[in-house]
Amino acid sequence: MKLSIIIPAFNEEKTIVQAIKRVVEQKIDGVQKEVIVVDDGSTDNTVFKIKDLRSKIKGIKFFQHKENSGKGAAVRTGIKNAKGNYILIQDADLEYHPKYINDLIKPIVGKKADVVYGTRIKRFPNLKGEEKTLQFLTHYLGNRFLSLVTSILYGQWITDMETGYKLFPKNAFSKFTILAKGFEFEPEITAKLMKSGHKILEIPIKTVPRGYNEGKKIDTIKDGLKALVHLIKYRF
């Protein structure tokens, strides 16, 4: 099988090089991979760093938006240009380590699943660790709530609807079209995958969350409400 790994990026000059290198260097047993980087109108040195890295590492596909349109738009560009029969989204902020790709791909190769999500929160909140601050506790609770709503609306249990690690077949898009431009991509693709009959298998992963002072872009309240609206919208 061939796996297309899409890396959407917006103003990630501090992490983009390391993120791409991690993906390129990660060995995935029995899988041919392609790396697709999509810059979503960055205004810092992200594009310069991507182009510089491409001059040193061959085979990285690169696409650039003239203006910032949102994560969903960047992912859509990546999917449109993907040659793999499976697609994985890899955020550029170093929260997700590519070492977990092997865990996600195993059920696909073994024909035990055709959609796999990496779940970060198939657990109780860690009040002494990740969720010790109000910011991350709110994010945890918000995600658990949205995942519960997803489970109820679509009749399939899921613990981490908002995870950035989503692995799915490209041919799924023969059944539906993704319209999202922003972070509403996460609920939309989950809703449409479930609604079209795909069963989502979740594999526990660990992440290294970054704070807003480090460049985190998602707004728990604003984007959470958008996600809720889209979950209801695509169900009915």
> Which range (1-10, 33-42, 124-133, 144-153) has the least confidence?
124-133
Q: Residue 136 half-sphere exposure, CB side, CA atoms within 13 Å?
A: 16
79's enclosing H/E stretch is helix 71-80
Give the integer Cα–Cα distance in Å for 109 and 21.
Answer: 24
47 has pLDDT over 90: yes
Mean pLDDT in residue range 32-45 = 97
- 32 has which bridge partners? 2
- What pLDDT score does 153 carry? 96
Q: Indicate the fold that domain 2-235 takes in CATH.
A: Spore Coat Polysaccharide Biosynthesis Protein SpsA; Chain A (3.90.550)
pLDDT, mean over the chain: 90
Confidence of residue 215 (pLDDT cuts 50, 70, 90): low
SS3 166: strand
Say which residues have a Cβ less than 8 Å from residue 40's Cβ, sequence separation at least 6: 8, 9, 10, 65, 68, 69, 70, 71, 73, 74
- What pLDDT score does 120 carry? 87
DSSP tag of 29? T
- What pLDDT score does 140 carry? 78
- What pLDDT score does 218 carry? 66
A 10 A CB-CB count for 174 gives 9
205 vs 128, residue with greater confidence: 205
Q: Residue 103 half-sphere exposure, CB side, CA atoms within 13 Å?
A: 16
Confidence of residue 117 (pLDDT cuts 50, 70, 90): very high
Confidence of residue 133 (pLDDT cuts 50, 70, 90): confident
- What pLDDT score does 29 carry? 84
Distances in whole angstroms, Cα of residue 52 to Cα of each of 55, 65, 113: 5, 18, 38
Give the integer Cα–Cα distance in Å for 81 and 97.
Answer: 24
25 has pLDDT over 90: yes
Give the integer Cα–Cα distance in Å for 45 and 97.
Answer: 23
Mean pLDDT in residue range 86-99 = 94
DSSP tag of 198? P
pTM above 0.95, yes or no: no
Give me the phi and psi of 102, to 5 degrees please: -60, -40
Confidence of residue 217 (pLDDT cuts 50, 70, 90): low
- What pLDDT score does 114 carry? 93
